[in-house]
Amino acid sequence: MINRVVLVGRLTKDPELKYTSSGTAVGTFSLAVNRQFTNSNGDREADFINCVIWRKSAENFANFTHKGSLVGIDGRLQTRNYENQQGQRVYVTEVVVDNFSLLESRTTTEQRQGDGASQNFNSNQSNGSQQSGFTSHQQSGNPSAANNTQAGPFANNGQAIDISDDDLPF
């Protein structure tokens, strides 16, 4: 049996993060996913898909996404039911998220949200450089140089590291 769902869309509102009585984090959100075709008026319609995410992933998702964030999710489709206060049986179909990916930079997200509504994710910046988690490349005089300026074990305090082909052991 196969039950896999892969979606790319935008959040319709900020994720809602709650905790169960045992302390397990659970997040719920709705994802707007554009259809591949247009309707008779030439407009592109979207499907609004309910999703649920659990544990540490739910906390991370709630911390790093907001209304309008472009995300990719991978999970499974689940149907459950319960009896509401009026005694009626209610059926719910939702995607239980296993993995997610943020598909745009923090800068893009913040610009879309506007100055007043954005959270300050850049409070840990050094020298004004954007810590977006994406690799940035700078042009230098040596086109064969490795110009990865993302912080890592071989970073040169945020500066590009020039390595010529003659310096490589292979």
Q: What are the boundaries of each domain within the chain?
A: 5-113, 134-170
Q: Which of the pair, 156 or 149, is modelled with greater confidence?
A: 156
Q: Determine the average pLDDT of the residues in 137-153.
A: 44
Q: Which of the pair, 63 or 142, is modelled with greater confidence?
A: 63
* Residue 109, phi then psi, degrees to nearest 5: -60, -45
Average pLDDT, the chain: 77
Which residues, in sequence order, are CB contacts of 39 under 8 Å at separation 6+? 45
pLDDT at 73: 95
* Residue 84, phi then psi, degrees to nearest 5: -80, -175
State how far the Cα of 148 lies from the Cα of 156, in Å rounded to an integer.
Answer: 10
pLDDT at 150 over 90: no
Share of the chain above pLDDT 90, in %: 55
pLDDT one-digit tens code per residue, 132-143: 333 333 334 444
Query: What pTM was computed for the model?
Result: 0.62
Find the Cα–Cα–Cα–Cα dihedral 127, 130, 136, 137, rounded to 10°.
Answer: -30
Minimal CA–CA distance to 161: which of 142, 148, 150?
148
* 7 three-state secondary structure: strand
* 18 three-state secondary structure: strand
CB contact at 8 A, 97 and 15? no
pLDDT at 40: 87
pLDDT at 124: 37
Per CATH, which fold does 5-113 belong to? OB fold (Dihydrolipoamide Acetyltransferase, E2P) (2.40.50)
Alpha helices for the chain (secondary structure H): 55-64, 106-113
pLDDT at 115: 47
pLDDT at 7: 95
